[in-house]
Each structure stands twice: as structure tokens, then as C-alpha cells.
Copies of this chain bind each other. A is one copy, B any other.
């Protein structure tokens, strides 16, 4: 039994150090506002934790609590406030499609989470820049981005291969196909060369890189495969099931697989999975927050750029 357990804390260190140094060296003070409009203890904990991490890095974080019916007005207020550089919302708020509406209410220039349609669309279409002059890189949704960083850290991305092909040959199962994490992640990994089985309660889709002229964009095929079929084939298993009772069936996991959990609940049975996996990452939250801060600094610079060009 030689499973290596890798903690998000360690993965995030280099990103956070870099951010801290940048913020200090440039003597800037980017401000992030987080909106908490639910009673979910997991969200409150995540908020507490964002505050702590931001304090360490030199980011000003302000948590604003309100009722869910006031949230839209509060977001619009923050959109219009030049003193606020980034906005995030602790979801779920309504827990239905209204949450997706709210994601688009956050101004695209302040959306540190990268959940605005513009960013999501650009990510799916492999559009890397916001402007034609290519001075502004697109924001990538921060949990999928964090998961890519985790996979780089644990060696799933093969640095010997050229960029954009570093997952060639990898088979990945992702148990979650939400619009926030699972589906964008599947597309990102497919764009980098992986074969991805994307699992949700309605079935399994396969994401892979397009062929021929479409080489740059992922393709999706429907399958009739089951979890029993795809788990034994997968080098990497990534889970994000928002339920305390769900556990990935350990006996289906391939020996030596890399197992990563991004749910706030433990989707893997810790003892069992260590007998099968080569690498186990039980949580990724700290890496996600580091990406959030990275996005914030980027947006801070874009906003300064926009102000400079509008007064020029």
C-alpha cells in the first residue's frame, strides 16, 4: 500500500506565494466582494476560508450577507462601484436556473469565478483572448482551472509533450457534469488530448478532441456505457457529487489510478481508495481560492487598462 495523499494546501503554496509577492511588489490592493445569500454551512465555511487566504495574500476581502431576493440588486450595486475589483457569489442561492441567471448579472469585468457566459463560451470555443489586440487573456472558470493545476502538479499532464497535447493517451472519468465544473472541465481536458467520460445521473458522454479541421475544439458523443464500464478504464477519476452518502465504488477503480475529489463531501472512502490509487487528492478548495485570487489580479489590471484607455 503506497498511495500518496496530496493536499491542496501544498499544491497552492507556489501560486499563493507568487500572488503575495506580486501584490506587495506592485503595492496594489485589489478588493474582492463575496456575496453570501444562503444558509448553507459549507458556503459559510468556504467564505471564512476565502477571507483567511485573502488576508494572507494581501487581497482585501469583504463578505456581504443578504437575502436571496435582494442579491441581484446588491450585485448590480457592486458592479457599479469602482472600488470593487472582483465579485463572487456563494452558490447555490436558489438552487435552480435562477442561479445561472445571477452568474450573468455579475459584470464580466469583475467576474473572478469565470462563470459569466462570455468566459464559458470562450473556453468551450478555445477563444483565448477577450480583445482583438490579444492583450487580455480570458478568465477561466476557477474550479476547473484549479483542477487542471492539481493534475499538472500530480504529474497527470506530461511535460514532455507539447502544450495542448499533454493529456494525450489519458482516460479520465469525471463524476459530475454541472455547468460550473464538470462540463467545462471535461472540455478543457479533451482539448488537451484526453478521452473523458463525463458521468451524471442521466448517463455518460464521451468528450474527445475533434478530428480533421475541427482539431482545436472538443467533440461530444453519447454513449450507453455505465460507471461499471468506464471506471476500470480510467487513469484518473475526478468526483464532485454534492452528497454525504455518495461513495465511488472502490473495487471498480483501476490499480494505480489518480483519484481527485472536488466535492465538499468525501466522495471516496479514504481507507479503501488508498489500497487502489497511486495518488489521492481528497480536496481542492485551497487551489480554487488561489485561482480566484489570480483571476482577481488579472481583472484588476484589465480595469486599470480600461480606465487608462477611456481617459486617454
A121 at the interface (CB under 8 A from B): yes
Evaluate contact between B117 and A222: CB separation under 8 angstroms.
no
Evaluate contact between B104 and A117: CB separation under 8 angstroms.
yes
Evaluate contact between A120 and B97: CB separation under 8 angstroms.
no
Least CB distance from A256 to B in Å reads 32
A309 at the interface (CB under 8 A from B): no
A interface size (C-beta, 8 A): 25
On chain B, the residues within 8 Å of A104 by CB distance are: 104, 117, 121
- A residues 143-196 touching B (CB-CB < 8 Å): 178-179, 183
Question: Can you sample 11 A-B contacts with CB below 8 Å?
Answer: A69-B219, A96-B179, A96-B202, A97-B97, A97-B178, A98-B183, A100-B101, A101-B117, A101-B121, A104-B117, A117-B117
A224 at the interface (CB under 8 A from B): no
CA distance A300 to B308 in the complex (A): 37
A23 at the interface (CB under 8 A from B): no
CA distance A17 to B131 in the complex (A): 45
Instruction: Kindly identify which residue among B100, B105, B125, B205 contacts A100, using a CB–CB cutoff of 8 Å.
Output: B100
- A residues 98-114 touching B (CB-CB < 8 Å): 98, 100-101, 104-105
A252 at the interface (CB under 8 A from B): no
CA distance A183 to B178 in the complex (A): 22
Evaluate contact between B100 and A97: CB separation under 8 angstroms.
yes
CA distance A219 to B95 in the complex (A): 19
The 10 closest A-B pairs by CB, nearest first: A104-B117, A97-B179, A69-B220, A100-B100, A97-B100, A101-B179, A117-B117, A98-B179, A97-B97, A105-B121
- A residues 192-223 touching B (CB-CB < 8 Å): 202, 205, 219-222
Evaluate contact between B100 and A120: CB separation under 8 angstroms.
no
Least CB distance from A121 to B in Å reads 7
On chain B, the residues within 8 Å of A120 by CB distance are: 101
Nearest-CB residue, chain B, relative to A105: B121
Least CB distance from A199 to B in Å reads 14
On chain B, the residues within 8 Å of A179 by CB distance are: 96-98, 100-101
CA distance A101 to B100 in the complex (A): 9
Least CB distance from A112 to B in Å reads 19
Least CB distance from A79 to B in Å reads 11
- A residues 72-119 touching B (CB-CB < 8 Å): 72, 76, 95-98, 100-101, 104-105, 117
CA distance A124 to B101 in the complex (A): 11
